[in-house]
Structure 1
Amino acid sequence: MTEPAAASVPGPARAFARRSGGGGTLAFVESPVQLLNVLEWAHATAPAPGELTVHVLPPHDPMTRGQLRRMAQLARDEGHAVEWVEARGGASAPLKTAGGLARPLRAARRLVIGDPFSRYVHLLLSLAGDGADVTVVDDGTATMEFTAQLAGGAKRLTRWHRTGATGARGLLFAPVSARARRRLTPGARRAVEVFTSMPVEAPEHVTVTENAFAWTRQRFGPPTLTGGTDLVGTSLAETGVVDTDRYLAAVVALARAHGATRYFAHRRERTEKLHRVAVEAGLEIVRPDLPLELVARRGPIGGTILSFPSTVVHTLPLALAGTPVRVAVCDVDPAWLTAQASPRAQGFLSDVTGSARDVHRLPSVP
């Protein structure tokens, strides 16, 4: 792999920035990875000083909040305004937050969002002006599902690991989600861009701009290498996609087969599960304080990084371009899936693995 020029700016991204003019840009993020990709988008488009304001809508879990605070400081260091909004502080908090943001939302020339499936984001999009351009930055592999649903004309956006049951709250929220879905569709007065490192097909009239992690490579590294093997954890068990015992057995087998010594935990992995990883696989548990792309770029990092199908099999080769680090991905065996897993789960996970570039594929662990 060769090192891409850190200062390169994709043509479509710069053209999109010019098209939107000098109006204000509001970004809304709920996870550290989303904020990282807002910074990558800003690096590519070079908005005018003071044009971009990032609103952080933190969830309750402490690991995510800690990473978000560190990412927010990096955003401030880059000269962007950052607003920390406690939007989940009670039943009335979402409506109060939306009410306070209604005026800037109507005035914004461009909205940058990290999760097009989020009901909170749908509420904010429904308040935006009809002419506001929209940029969707990566929220991991969910971007692949979003573009596929947008291209397929889906009337309702659904996360890939959900079974499809709407529920009473979903039915009540349906009109808001429908309005947000229209905001995510290009129109005569509104452009839609997807800024992504994932392999996606561009929906009709949607601009897809490559996220090459130029800001990450320029800001951090190159990393020092430990010479060992690291294993990246996932939250597939926490989301009910794979059976926890099967997952742990696969972690043990991979660690033994490849001599892994460290396990980089996903921020949503449960403490009791990580304790079992440490005891049963003999791995040192590492709780990253930033998204893994930045942690790996800072180093020290293993010469080989093992992962199950996840976002990092697409992003780490880009963030670590120009280094000798090898990224390898282990397929999920269909036998690991739970009875509650979505019918789309196996196909989606296979697509995540099969479409990854610059990675070494490992067979699934029986």
Structure 2
Amino acid sequence: MARTASPRPSEASARDRRTATVKSAPATLAFVESPVQLLNLLEWAHTTTMDLTVVVLSPLDPMSRGQLRRMAELARGEGIRVRWEEARGGVAAPFRTIGGLTPLLRGAGRIVIGDPFSRYVQLLLALSGSRDLTVVDDGTATMEFIAQLTAGEPLVRWHRRGRRGPRDLLFAPMASAARRRLTPARRRAVEVFSSMPVADAPPGLTVTANDFAWTRSRFGPPRLTRTSDLVGTSLVETGVVDQDLYIAAVTGLARTHRVTRYFAHRRESTEKLHRLHAETGLEIVRPDLPLELIARRGPIGRTIVSFPSTVVHTLPLALAGTEVRVAVCDIDPAWLTDTASPRAQGFLAGVTGTARDVQRLAPGV
């Protein structure tokens, strides 16, 4: 099973500490928690001349951390200040992180966030004095965010199911305050920078299209292989899709479309990937950068097969002008687990149905 090298724990001592010291509040202060958010922040920064400092609220899983380190290097290469925070490194870490960021939060002219559903981000928004907010794309979650904002609903991730637990009730006031901050008002400007389709948006919300101009200007065009690649998903890990049926679907797609490589999602479990490799013979690749950059750099298959996910919207944009074809396989309702959210099938169908410039594949094709 092929994979890129991930940083050793011993490397964390130097690189996981703050890598930029900001003595005064920047014009724009951004918070990201995933490599995709940082990629889309770079795309947004490509469209503006604002003074920008990025705060990475580092997650715990090694694959996300590794990709974020690589993305942070690219951001610094673009002249952007990057401040790395071990925001989840122990009980005291959130207090230390929030205490250190409070002066910057209160002085920044604009706040940029990548995940409005994040409790960490919601708390930081409550401490911010900025009236101008930008939400950069966090993939398909952005579609759900806009839909909930338009309907005036609580901010809840689409795959969550069941009644709220004690932690949800504890954070409910903060979530409500964040939703108010993210709702445009007479003296509050809110922008969403996204490559996702936006059918309806609340009045006053500015939606700016992300066409991946920065990615296309920096990388590629890629060399194309004669075979196909398949993009993995974490729907099994989030409890939406049954693992056995997922592996059977991957096996069928690999056989039909001459797939040789499987690009794993950063949240896919090692156990599942080992099983995929053993049963399909596919080369398992754990990318060290978001797939949009991996595909643009190449080499990449002439056909990229995916299940409903962010990439069915972003890859056609990042690969514009190439001969790469993106195909998306619908999720069969029979693949869903008994514990999947009732909203899962409709949401996933919407992800596929709104994708542009892709080929639609029926389940099992």
Same topology, TM > 0.5: yes
Q: Does 1:249 align with 2:248?
A: yes
Rounded Cα–Cα distance in structure 1 between residues aligned with 2:45 and 2:69: 19
Rounded Cα–Cα distance in structure 1 between residues aligned with 2:45 and 2:162: 35
**SS of residue matched to 2:238:** coil
Q: Which runs of 5+ in 2 are unaligned?
A: 1-24
TM-score by length of 2: 0.91
Aligned partner (choices 160, 163, 171) of residue 162 of structure 1: 160
Rounded Cα–Cα distance in structure 2 between residues aligned with 1:23 and 1:144: 29
Counterpart residue type for residue 321 of structure 1: A
Counterpart residue type for residue 67 of structure 1: Q
Whether the 8 Å contact between 1:29 and 1:56 is mirrored in structure 2 is: yes
1:95 deviates by: 2.3
Match of 2:172 in 1: 174
Counterpart residue type for residue 38 of structure 1: L
Rounded Cα–Cα distance in structure 2 between residues aligned with 1:204 and 1:190: 12
1:173 deviates by: 1.2
Match of 1:258 in 2: 257
What is the percent sequence identity of the aligned residues?
73
1:58 deviates by: 1.1
Match of 1:138 in 2: 137
Spell out structure 1 runs of 4+ moving beyond 3 A.
none
- CA 1:178–1:188 in structure 2 vs 1: closer, same or farther (change >3 Å)? same
Whether the 8 Å contact between 1:108 and 1:132 is mirrored in structure 2 is: no
Match of 1:15 in 2: none
Q: Give RMSD over aligned pairs.
A: 1.2
Match of 2:187 in 1: 189
Rounded Cα–Cα distance in structure 2 between residues aligned with 1:203 and 1:341: 29
**SS of residue matched to 1:182:** helix
Rounded Cα–Cα distance in structure 1 between residues aligned with 2:145 and 2:95: 25
Counterpart residue type for residue 169 of structure 1: R
Rounded Cα–Cα distance in structure 2 between residues aligned with 1:265 and 1:95: 34
1:49-77 residue CA offsets vs partner (Å, 9 max, x unmatched):
xx100000111110000000000000000
The more displaced of 273-282 and 347-356 is 273-282
Match of 2:117 in 1: 117
1:45 deviates by: 2.0
Match of 1:198 in 2: 196
Whether the 8 Å contact between 2:329 and 2:363 is mirrored in structure 1 is: yes
1:97 deviates by: 1.2
Q: Which runs of 5+ in 1 are unaligned?
A: 1-21
Rounded Cα–Cα distance in structure 1 between residues aligned with 2:276 and 2:297: 25
Query: In the comparison of the two structures, how many residue pairs are matched?
Result: 340
Whether the 8 Å contact between 1:330 and 1:361 is mirrored in structure 2 is: yes
Whether the 8 Å contact between 2:126 and 2:177 is mirrored in structure 1 is: yes
1:164 deviates by: 4.3
1:188 deviates by: 2.1
1:23 deviates by: 6.3
1:211-226 alignment runs, 5 A limit: 211-226=210-225
Match of 1:69 in 2: 69
Rounded Cα–Cα distance in structure 1 between residues aligned with 2:60 and 2:315: 27
Whether the 8 Å contact between 2:262 and 2:284 is mirrored in structure 1 is: yes
The more displaced of 160-169 and 116-125 is 160-169
1:169 deviates by: 1.0
